[in-house]
């Protein structure tokens, strides 16, 4: 279908160089005599007594019977269930599997809680360059993008390098954030207001090898929903160069998706019950849903495995902390502005979350070269966390780091932290490399090294155990 009016036929190509949302700002090592650490000196002394127990955990994972097992479990999981988009049969079967194996691993009080979430199905999609010469371009539609007409649409591309260029081209006021991730989320809204019939977004990773990415996008009232997709860095740069040379750049674009409506999915919950304070908790978890590209191994399969098998390590070693360790395998993280599984859990359990939890932990920030934690909490709590991390030196991590930058993280624990003031932590890792694979067909178990999995499992298990076994909960 060739449409006659240029302002109604524009695909807006946003070229956004993505600076990692997980750029980590190290917290300086507390100097001797630092008053914040002096306030918790007795707790720091208590932490140092755990060196031998943490060494046993580390050796069991890095050298003993658990060596390599985490990657094996992850491989079995993602090969069995594949990608796990919210609303899919594969997601619900994977949740059934998690609930089945939790008691076998050592969990008690195993149950699920319902979560209402939207279901969107990806259909046929294609992008072909027609002018100045024919070329097939790989793309991934964003969710929950609307469809094009069944026959697709043909339109001329206007290429703009960010929101400011878009504003100047149309000569209309425009003021929006320019973070790379926000182009994906908000481009369709703003481009539609200015007459575009679709948006093509440059993949926000720093490295793609022709591999486009996908992710969540938003619509809002007052603008016509238009189809939106991402293309690779290489193809985006090509179209941009052609456009800047004055070539007429014309494409044929097709996205055929289906919006089903709301469905019911489930959070999976289990406890490793504490020995003397069973009604106090350290929370760990990851989200079992994924996008429909790749296998969802990095996002978020590996964190599901860590949060399940950390408990099995403790159970096998006969280590039972004072407090309970509650593992929540979240659902519907990928399909809401706020992670929907966490949002529902917060609504169901707000009072106990405020008073019964020492910390919320989730591993939703990558696995490569993990060297510590991203932490949000008081200075005193930071002193405690830094001291716990030192227990992993040098056998697991030569030099650990505690870093703090939660401002851009979209993880399940963020709404819990915001509503309760409870501290939170995620694994600190190489974020740039993580985003090579993130939300793409390359997110498979092939990308993951067994040693990286073992390091993260040792970190996750040791930190969770010590936090659950300390005499006092973390200060707020």
**Positions marked catalytic:** 333
Q: What is the SS3 assignment for 56?
A: helix
CA dihedral 295, 300, 301, 303 (to 10 degrees): 160
Q: Rounded CA gap, 367 and 68, in Å?
A: 15
450-469 and 51-62 helices, crossing angle to 10° = 150
Give me the phi and psi of 261, to 5 degrees please. 110, -170
For 301, which DSSP code? Answer: I
Nearest CA among 254, 297, 251 for reference residue 123: 254
> Which contiguous run of DSSP H or E holds residue 282?
strand 277-287
Q: Rounded CA gap, 89 and 79, in Å?
A: 15
Would you state the structure tokens that stand for residue 187, as one six-digit string? 């481009």
Task: Please state whether the peptide bond connecting residue 300 to the residue before it is cis, i.e. omega within 30 degrees of 0.
Answer: yes
Residue with tokens 């580390």: 58
Q: Find how far residue 256's CA is from the centre of its chain.
A: 26
> ∠ at Cα 217 (363, 123), nearest 5°?
100
């Amino acid at each position: 279908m060739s449409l006659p009016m240029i302002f109604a036929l524009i695909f807006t190509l946003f070229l956004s160089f993505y600076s990692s949302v997980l750029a980590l700002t190290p917290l300086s090592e507390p100097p001797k005599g630092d008053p914040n650490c002096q306030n918790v000196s007795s707790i720091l002394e208590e932490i140092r007594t755990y060196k031998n127990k943490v060494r046993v955990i580390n050796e069991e994972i890095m050298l003993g019977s658990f060596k390599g097992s985490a990657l094996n479990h992850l491989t079995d999981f993602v090969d069995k269930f594949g990608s796990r988009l919210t609303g899919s049969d594969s997601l619900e079967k994977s949740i059934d599997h998690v609930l089945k194996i939790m008691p076998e691993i050592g969990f008690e009080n195993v149950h699920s809680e319902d979560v209402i979430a939207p279901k969107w199905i990806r259909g046929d999609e294609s992008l072909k360059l027609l002018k100045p010469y024919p070329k097939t371009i790989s793309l991934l539609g964003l969710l929950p993008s609307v469809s094009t007409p069944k026959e697709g649409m043909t339109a001329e591309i206007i290429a703009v390098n960010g929101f400011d260029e878009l504003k100047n081209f149309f000569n209309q006021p425009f003021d929006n954030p320019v973070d790379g991730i926000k182009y994906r989320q908000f481009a369709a809204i703003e481009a539609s207001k200015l007459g575009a019939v679709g948006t093509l977004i440059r993949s926000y990773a720093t490295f793609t090898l022709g591999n486009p990415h996908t992710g969540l996008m938003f619509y809002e009232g007052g603008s016509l929903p238009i189809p939106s997709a991402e293309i690779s860095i290489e193809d985006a740069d090509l179209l941009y160069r052609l456009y800047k040379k004055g070539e007429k750049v014309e494409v044929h674009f097709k996205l055929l998706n289906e919006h089903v409506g709301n469905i019911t999915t489930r959070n999976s919950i289990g406890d490793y019950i504490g020995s003397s304070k069973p009604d106090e908790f350290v929370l760990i978890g990851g989200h079992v849903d994924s996008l429909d590209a790749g296998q969802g191994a990095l996002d978020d399969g590996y964190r599901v495995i860590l949060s399940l098998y950390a408990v099995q390590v403790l159970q096998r070693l006969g280590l039972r902390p004072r407090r309970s360790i509650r593992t929540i395998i979240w659902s519907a993280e990928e399909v809401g502005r706020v992670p929907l599984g966490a949002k529902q859990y917060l609504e169901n359990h707000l009072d106990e979350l405020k008073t019964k939890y020492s910390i919320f932990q989730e591993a939703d920030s990558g696995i490569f070269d993990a060297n510590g934690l991203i932490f949000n909490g008081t200075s005193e709590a930071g002193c405690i966390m830094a001291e716990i991390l030192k227990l992993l030196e040098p056998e697991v991590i030569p030099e650990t780091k505690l870093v703090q930058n939660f401002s851009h993280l979209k993880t399940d624990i963020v709404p819990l932290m915001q509503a309760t003031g409870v501290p939170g932590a995620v694994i600190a890792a190489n974020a740039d490399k993580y985003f090579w694979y993130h939300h793409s067909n390359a997110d498979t178990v092939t990308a993951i090294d067994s040693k990286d999995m073992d390091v993260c499992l040792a970190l996750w298990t040791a930190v969770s155990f010590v936090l659950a076994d300390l005499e006092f909960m973390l200060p707020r």
